[in-house]
Amino acid sequence: MITNEVWKSCQTELRHKLNPHNYDSWIAPISYESFEGDTVTLSVPSVFFVDWIEEHYKGQIIDLFGDVAGKSISLKLSVRHELDRGAEPSSPLPKASDAPSYMELLEKCSLNEKHTFRNFVVGKSNEFCHASCQAVAANPGRVYNPLFIYGGVGLGKTHLLQAIGAEALRKNPKANVLYMTSEKFVNSMINSLQQGSMANFRNKYRSLDVLMVDDIQFIAGKERSQEEFFHTFNTLYESKKQIVVTSDKIPKDMKNMEERLRSRFACGLISDIQPPELEIKIAILKQIAKRNGFDMDDDVASYLAEKIKSNIRELEGSLARVMAYSSLTNRPINMDLAQETIRGIYGEVVRMLDIKQIQKAVVEYYGLKIIDLKSRSRSKNIAGPRHVAEYLCREFTTASLPEIGRSFGGRDHTTVLHAVSKIKADLEVNTQLYNEINEIKKKLDL
């Protein structure tokens, strides 16, 4: 029996597992509704939550319920309509009702309906890869075979790979399309070996029109899987069926990958995705916000795009949190809300500044002039702030000690080092100093 109490204890468990920001954004707002048959219904504040939780937390929640009930439990998420939310986001799956059969097809082929060409923002960093994927989707098995997509984590490889499948199915709903991760390939091969059903395993692949294998690098070092994949590859290739794989490395850098496979991968087209430029990040943010029914100004989009440097997955994650806070607090997405959210997420992450920015913030805070920081004065109300500024430069710029020394009136690097150590030691015991430095850091958006 899954009761409200059980849900509360699951929440406690998740609180321990997840980072606090994720817990507060996504799990805390979920309420228990009912348990009927084998289905638990939980409710969430908006449609947008349903989508996000399904994608990121559903598995964990179901596992926890399963442990309690001792059998498998299914989970339904409903939206709490009684809450009057002026800006309820529109459904993120607008196409679901228009074309159910197409949606079913996508699901059957393990394709995520959001991963389409339409939803893919094109810019310099990915236009070549995007174009090659479109060409392949338009003419599977005819143009580039195999197509080898490579690029860093979170840059859109899986999205493009699945877009090929979705497009091929849209054009020809009868096409036999299969998307899988290389791990799944390995697991299903192992299962077939154990059950003595390798013939079925092989037949399944022979009849495909398009085979898409994601993160192929994971079969490196697994001999039997490479062998099997090699044969699958050859069969499909010879019958002019399309093969697309993704990887975080180019074939020649895939250590522990058999040479014959590497050369097969390299015989078609190798297409790469580069890290996103600012414009693409802004366009992606605006597109996702719009799709979820939120308005986002350019300044907010550029703020987020500049803050999140690493990859598009992280960009999406941060935007998701901004949208969640917006719907939870019923506030529009504006600069304040974005800054609060980002500070929550990246509070601990060090942001790099330049010396001048720090000097400016310090003199403003203490009511001094830049020239004071560079002076020889040892009076407490000047030397103190100078030490603080040197400390902040050491912590939040990439400048070396001698460089910092030069920027503070040509001081020796040991003098700077001494000042930095002094502030560090004082910070442990001096609350006032601690607060002052925090105020300055806030000014600097640290």
For binding to ligand ADP (CB under 6 A), which residues are involved?
A: 115, 119-121, 126, 151, 153-159, 284, 312-313, 316
10 Å CB burial of residue 229 (0-12, 13-18, 19+) is: buried
Q: Please, what is the minimum distance in Å from the beta carbon of residue 180 to ligand ADP? A: 14
Q: Which is nearer to ligand ADP, 88 or 215 (CB)?
A: 215
The site partner of 353 among ligand ADP, Mg ion, none (C-beta below 5 to 8 Å per kind) is none
Q: Please, what is the minimum distance in Å from the beta carbon of residue 414 to ligand ADP? A: 46
Interface with Mg ion includes 217 (CB under 5 A)? no
Q: Which is nearer to ligand ADP, 150 or 366 (CB)?
A: 150
Q: Which position's Cβ is nearest ligand ADP? A: 156
Cβ 362 vs Cβ 355: under 8 Å: no
Residue 415, token pair as written in the block: 């003098």
Q: Which is nearer to ligand ADP, 29 or 275 (CB)?
A: 275
The footprint of Mg ion on residues 412-431 (CB under 5 A) is: none
What is 376-445 written as a DSSP string? ----HHHHHHHHHHHHHHHHHS---HHHHHHHTTS--HHHHHHHHHHHHHHHHH-HHHHHHHHHHHHHTT
In one letter, which amino acid is 378? R
Q: Please, what is the minimum distance in Å from the beta carbon of residue 306 to Mg ion? A: 24
Q: Please, what is the minimum distance in Å from the beta carbon of residue 158 to Mg ion? A: 3
Q: Which is nearer to Mg ion, 313 or 374 (CB)?
A: 313
Q: Please, what is the minimum distance in Å from the beta carbon of residue 114 to Mg ion? A: 14
Q: Which is nearer to ligand ADP, 150 or 237 (CB)?
A: 150
Q: At what angle do helices 58-69 and 47-56 cross, to 10 degrees?
A: 70
The site partner of 32 among Mg ion, ligand ADP, none (C-beta below 5 to 8 Å per kind) is none
C-alpha distances (whole Å) from 174 to each of 60, 240, 322 are 34, 17, 40
Interface with Mg ion includes 327 (CB under 5 A)? no
Q: Please, what is the minimum distance in Å from the beta carbon of residue 214 to Mg ion? A: 6
Q: Which of 269, 168, 163, 270 is nearest to 209 (CA)?
A: 168
C-alpha–C-alpha distance, residues 37 and 86, integer Å = 34
Residue 359, token pair as written in the block: 């000097």
By CB under 5 A, the count of residues binding Mg ion is: 2
Residue 402: phi and psi, rounded to 5, are -60, -40
Q: Which is nearer to Mg ion, 155 or 368 (CB)?
A: 155
Interface with Mg ion includes 158 (CB under 5 A)? yes
Cβ 279 vs Cβ 123: under 8 Å: yes
Residues making contact with Mg ion (CB under 5 A): 157-158
